[in-house]
Structure 1
């Protein structure tokens, strides 16, 4: 829930280093707090004073603000409790086989995973993690589809009943999941294999390996790295991924700078070790300056660019030439043929994921367009959580006690 200063831009004056005034400077309320209300919808509220905005932000984060407060009984309602209500309200119209199958699938496949969770807390990451585990365990695809369909139906009913604001299942493309999560990498190097590769590549390219493994950059983004604060801000510990090097004799007569793949420009944290490698590269190898067409702003301009990674003769690198170099390095490092530069990006992502970094943060680091892409690619590396013992039996025992307490005319079992 960030607090925004509407009177000033985040961009700074290159001379004074002070924030530039916005078009709204001096007009209207200055401070904006963005938050999600009790129904999960994005809202904002404006304030004259920063201290008032900060106080409201704290209330929103703690859940004390009326705007975000959820009724206590709604917040505590578990999936298991709602699923039981859902089943009891519908089973009178089910065929005999359906009456047998749905409770069985609930008991064996949904309640052990989601039964004790507050239904409002179940998110896309939980759903994708569950599907990934089913596939890892060798569950038939037809069964995965059946269990997911049941879960999605119950969650849809919860949306209609206004128990939850939206259905996390809607963000899942089941066809891609059942194809075995087609984005999943074919091979991911270990830490030792990454270090072995860094040892065998020439000194002038070692920092490129670190940018791939330590920052998750794509090859074109690495080859487009230039010296200066446009790409790396050492003082603030930020890496600005704003361009990639492309080659097209037909359109630009050779090399040019374009925006990263799928418009995935962004600013990410600059790893301290990667920063050291970059600084050493600039000192020991040094950049080479070229006059290059730059279309990152949507308009073509030509400007001097101090490119960090070039050939031993100081020439820019094409994908073809890089592939020739890579084949030798890969063999020297003992990597399989599936090992490409992009494998370093996979190493970066899976290392974050398997060490408990939130998938949303991994998405930001990779600059993926949405969380679904991150989860479909790396869901197998989500940390596995041990299931508490006795969870289902305890849940059903409590449900049994509730049912026995009902008047006879309300007990439809």
Structure 2
């Protein structure tokens, strides 16, 4: 911006001479207007023009302290800001949140936006990222989770005046996801499940049956322990009360927590699954571990006889399980999209296609509500032909009965 002379007006008199202002001869004469680090328009007054010229040059070159922070903000990378955002907030997060958010940042946000100046990220960048996630087959719930985290961080950057606005505000995620069904993209057949059970080592075979025969999630299977707390053979009940998690930062390793979305529940222990569990206990046996347990809301440490461990008797991380699974999947002839969760889909679709009421399937899966069950597995409901003319026939029959009753009344 030009340097203003406050003692004179910009217009001139009839004699072409500059006209004095009301401030002529009073106060500092020269004004420099500039934009500060927060993006606000400011001004600074000087007595001498040479000083005003020097400050104006410093502002325009980014050397002046008043504007220097803005230049640093222009070069601020998303990864750096995200790190500061996380560190300033994690003290108030729950244990699971402190584990999940850094992991989602590291795996899903930083590889895409980490090395970008945060001010350069625009709506097109965000939409391109979402498109790649969907093209890669990322579950809809996961897309929502990652986008929600990214939007929260960018909202904080707006409040901190790091960026002028949030590019995520232009994204209508519900519209993007509309039409994408909860329905699984691939469900194994009976033969494919049995083939998988054949190629899996003996020490993990019962885990496959818990997925296919009870619909348990992987974390719930790995959290199974010997004894009636989980599998009560006498009553024929399977109690899904915990899952195994891993968090080196907060528990030094493994710990037990409640199942996903609080889906604790008791389900029927299938007779075949019970046989597999009994065989596992006899041939493999559990391994005792001292584990933190937060399933009651309070942390306690107890001895847990864990059913499924590695060949060396170690607890299983998700990463190690994924390595084992890749080999088993290939040996069984499953597609790359076949995961342990596909066994849960097999369990649910088998129930549905064999006429089990959706409400009972919901209970078996421990879904929070029936809507989730129906949206996911409605395609497997058995098709029942509606008798033609059913409603009209019933109304006609009712009409005949009414007329007969009326005739009888007239005879009385």
**Which TM-score applies when normalising by structure 2?**
0.53
RMSD of aligned Cα (Å): 2.3
Which residue does the alignment assign to 2:205?
A: 206
Q: Which runs of 5+ in 1 are unaligned?
A: 1-174, 402-413
SS in 1 for 2:348: helix
Please report how far the alpha carbon of residue 397 of structure 1 lies from its aligned counterpart in structure 2 after TM superposition: 8.1
- Closer/same/farther in 2, CA of residues 396 and 275 from structure 1, 3 Å limit: closer
Please report how far the alpha carbon of residue 185 of structure 1 lies from its aligned counterpart in structure 2 after TM superposition: 0.6
1:252 aligns with 2:219: no
What pairs with 1:168-179 in structure 2 (closer than 5 Å)?
179=178
User: 8 Å contact 1:181–1:377 — kept in the other structure?
Assistant: no
Which residue does the alignment assign to 1:333?
A: 332
Residues in 2 aligned to 1:396 and 1:285: alpha-carbon distance in whole angstroms: 65
Which residue does the alignment assign to 1:308?
A: 307
> What are the Cα deviations for residues 115-140 of structure 1, in whole angstroms up to 9, with x where unaligned?
xxxxxxxxxxxxxxxxxxxxxxxxxx
Q: Which 10-residue stretch deviates more, 180-189 or 292-301?
A: 180-189
Residues in 2 aligned to 1:221 and 1:392: alpha-carbon distance in whole angstroms: 47
Residues in 2 aligned to 1:188 and 1:257: alpha-carbon distance in whole angstroms: 29
Which residue does the alignment assign to 1:150?
A: none
Please report how far the alpha carbon of residue 399 of structure 1 lies from its aligned counterpart in structure 2 after TM superposition: 12
Which residue does the alignment assign to 1:233?
A: 232
Residues in 1 aligned to 2:268 and 2:322: alpha-carbon distance in whole angstroms: 28
Determine which structure has more spread, i.e. the larger CA radius of gyration: 2
Which residue does the alignment assign to 2:279?
A: 280
What pairs with 1:74-153 in structure 2 (closer than 5 Å)?
none
Please report how far the alpha carbon of residue 390 of structure 1 lies from its aligned counterpart in structure 2 after TM superposition: 3.7
Residues in 2 aligned to 1:316 and 1:249: alpha-carbon distance in whole angstroms: 13
Which residue does the alignment assign to 2:66?
A: none
Residues in 1 aligned to 2:233 and 2:335: alpha-carbon distance in whole angstroms: 35
SS in 2 for 1:346: helix
Please report how far the alpha carbon of residue 217 of structure 1 lies from its aligned counterpart in structure 2 after TM superposition: 0.2
Please report how far the alpha carbon of residue 366 of structure 1 lies from its aligned counterpart in structure 2 after TM superposition: 0.4
Please report how far the alpha carbon of residue 391 of structure 1 lies from its aligned counterpart in structure 2 after TM superposition: 4.2
**Which TM-score applies when normalising by structure 1?**
0.52
Which residue does the alignment assign to 1:369?
A: 368
Which residue does the alignment assign to 1:352?
A: 351
Q: Which runs of 5+ in 2 are unaligned?
A: 1-173, 401-412
- Closer/same/farther in 2, CA of residues 180 and 188 from structure 1, 3 Å limit: farther
Which residue does the alignment assign to 1:30?
A: none
User: 8 Å contact 1:225–1:231 — kept in the other structure?
Assistant: yes
Please report how far the alpha carbon of residue 251 of structure 1 lies from its aligned counterpart in structure 2 after TM superposition: 1.1
- Closer/same/farther in 2, CA of residues 181 and 396 from structure 1, 3 Å limit: farther
Residues in 2 aligned to 1:193 and 1:230: alpha-carbon distance in whole angstroms: 31
Residues in 2 aligned to 1:387 and 1:211: alpha-carbon distance in whole angstroms: 37
Q: Which runs of 4+ in 1 moved over 6 A?
A: 395-401
Residues in 2 aligned to 1:263 and 1:193: alpha-carbon distance in whole angstroms: 31
Please report how far the alpha carbon of residue 180 of structure 1 lies from its aligned counterpart in structure 2 after TM superposition: 4.1
User: 8 Å contact 1:220–1:246 — kept in the other structure?
Assistant: yes
- Closer/same/farther in 2, CA of residues 395 and 334 from structure 1, 3 Å limit: same
